Amino acid sequence: MLKAVILIGGPQKGTRFRPLTLDIPKPLFPIAGLPVIQHHIEACAIVEGLKEILLIGSYPASQFQQFVYNMQLRYNVTIKYLQEFTALGTAGGLFHFRDQIRYGTPDAFFLMNGDVCSDFPLKELYQFHKERPNGALVTIMAAEATKQQSLNFGCMVTDNDTHEVTHYVEKPSSYISTLINCGVYTFSLDIFPVIGEIFHLRQQDIYKSENGNDVKEAGFIQLEQEILTPLAGTGKMFAMHITNWWSQLKTGSSAIYANRHYLELYQTKHPERLSSCKEPTIIPDVHIDPTAVVDSTSVIGPNVSIGASVVIGPGVRIKESIVLDGAVIEERSLIMHSIIGRNSRVGKWARVEGTPCDPDPNKAFAKMENPPLFNNDGKLNPSITILGCSVSVPSETILLNSIVLPNKELSRSIKNEIIL
């Protein structure tokens, strides 16, 4: 029997994803028509013997109740949300809920960061884990990045023959290796005594310390720095190298990028989720929710996801974008490299456009960049255009490289601006 744990963070995380997370927790943001972590759940649900998925985070349980209920109905797996009383770090929650994870004595469990996107080759990861001759405590899914980009990830040096991780540094300040941690792991249950040791050391430090404020930090444990770094070179940690698409979900731009790739995966795995018709004109890949009303004279695609109850008027053109539930795009408007928030309205003959910042195709292994919002001169970096929920864009205006916070009624064209 196998289990999976998905780390979904909490309300204090996902700040670079604002304003999109102001009305929905980031793990539930729809990519290619499904909440981000539903892609994780789908990958888990097809693993033979996987019986339970535990979502661990510090969001109020009420925010995940409906989602968990829907997932339980849809997939033949037990799914539970376990709420941390405070953010416990990437290993603190594992330790806090160790009895739940160990219950039923699974052979192993997967750990998945909720903000990564991939086709999640979990079967292969488990097989690889099982095949290590002297037994593995952890197997990390690893990918290649460029030298420069590797500094933003956990970096590993591995033995070419055994695949053992001999050195691990989390977000190093100088170059270590281009092999990066993808935030997807298989763990053996024997990991718990290792995390327990860190927990007890931490507790002792707190008892010794005079400052009572430290007490709230007791259960906070960072997997990468406190567990993976010391495990490197002990013969217990391995890396399985993948070459398929993998990316993080940190910014609006990375959502557009992930949307494109999940739509592409649908071609082979779920062709029924892709729209194909002559009227409206569809340029693949496109996902349109069945409840959306799309005028037959509009042209949609490539790489577009249209949410539930969206209304798209005559002559509208949309490409490389996500249009969220309940949005209305009026006639002859153009939407490109943008995210249109829930229940927003784009008036007639308007143009909403952003700048893509995709990985450089000429650089082997380049990953999606997540540049800061502002450059060193305090100017907004060119990026996709994002409308928060319930934003109204008047007719005949242009919005370029801009971010609009929820509930705004714009009255003019804007370029490279954040409208608070």
CB proximity list for 405: less than 8 A, separation 6 or greater: 19, 22, 388, 391, 418, 419, 420
**What tokens were used for 344?**
């927003």
Q: How near is the Cβ of 5 to ligand GDD at its closest, in Å? A: 9
Which CB, 116 or 387, lies closer to ligand GDD? Answer: 116
- Type of residue at 209: S
Considering only the stretches 111-119, 262-270, 313-321, 390-398, report the one whose residues sit in contact with ligand GDD under the rule CB under 6 A. Answer: 111-119
> Quick check: 25 binds ligand GDD (CB under 6 A)?
no
Nearest partner of 228 among 313, 281, 156, judged by Cα: 156
- Least distance between ligand GDD and beta carbon 141 (Å): 10
What CA–CA distance (Å, rounded) separates 384 from 381?
10
Q: Which of 21, 113, 251, 343 binds ligand GDD (CB under 6 A)?
A: 113
Q: Which of 218, 174, 184, 252 is nearest to 16 (CA)?
A: 252
| 341 secondary structure, DSSP code | P
Q: Is 323 in a helix, a strand, or coil?
A: strand
Please say whether the beta carbons of 40 and 112 come within 8 A.
yes
181/383 with CB nearer ligand GDD: 181
Tell me: does residue 13 bind ligand GDD (CB under 6 A). yes
Q: Is 313 in the site for ligand GDD (CB under 6 A)?
A: no
What are the counts of helices (DSSP H) followed by strands (DSSP E) for the chain?
9, 32
Provide the token pair at 61.
């349980």
Is 382 within 8 Å of 251 (Cβ atoms)?
Answer: no
- How far is residue 68's CA from residue 305's CA, in Å, rounded to a whole number? 23
CB of 71 to ligand GDD, least distance (A): 17
Per-residue contact string for residues 222-251; x = within reach of ligand GDD by CB under 6 A? --x-----------------------x---
User: Which amino acid belongs to residue 315?
Assistant: G
Q: Rank residues 181 and 188 by Cβ distance to ligand GDD and give the closer one.
A: 181
If one asks whether residue 150 binds ligand GDD (CB under 6 A), the answer comes out as: no
Q: What are phi and psi of 369, to 5 degrees?
A: -85, 150
CA–CA dist 83, 130 (Å, integer): 30
Interaction mask 52-91, ligand GDD, x per CB under 6 A = ----xxx-------------------------x--xxxx-
Give the integer Cα–Cα distance in Å for 112 and 37: 10
32 in contact with ligand GDD (CB under 6 A): no
Q: Which is nearer to ligand GDD, 149 or 401 (CB)?
A: 149
217 binds ligand GDD (CB under 6 A): no
| 8 part of the interface to ligand GDD, by CB under 6 A | yes
Q: How far is the CB of 176 from ligand GDD (least distance, A)?
A: 12
Least distance to ligand GDD, CB of residue 6, Å = 8
- Does position 111 interact with ligand GDD (CB under 6 A)? The reply is no
Q: Which stretch binds ligand GDD (CB under 6 A): 6-14, 65-73, 374-382, 389-397?
A: 6-14
Whether the CB-CB separation of 261 and 245 falls below 8 Å is answered with yes
- Least separation in angstroms between CB 161 and ligand GDD: 24
| Smallest distance, ligand GDD to C-beta of residue 386, A | 20
In the bound complex, what is the minimum distance in angstroms from residue 168's beta carbon to ligand GDD? 9
Cβ-based nearer residue to ligand GDD, 82 or 206: 82
Using the rule CB under 6 A, is 144 a contact of ligand GDD? no
312 membership: H or E segment, kind and range: strand 311-312
Alpha carbon separation from 354 to 1, 327, 382 (Å, rounded): 46, 18, 8
From the list 100-108, 179-187, 286-294, 386-394, the region that binds ligand GDD by CB under 6 A is: 179-187
Considering only residues 116 to 135 of the shown chain, the ones binding ligand GDD according to CB under 6 A are 116
Residue 362 CA to residue 365 CA, distance in Å, equals: 9
Buried b / exposed e over 159-190, threshold 16 CB at 10 Å, is eeeebbbeebbbeeeeebbbbbbbbbbbbbbe
Choices 178-186, 303-311, 352-360, 388-396; region in contact with ligand GDD by CB under 6 A: 178-186
Q: Which residues bind ligand GDD (CB under 6 A)?
A: 7-9, 13, 56-58, 84, 87-90, 93, 113-116, 153-154, 170, 180-183, 224, 248
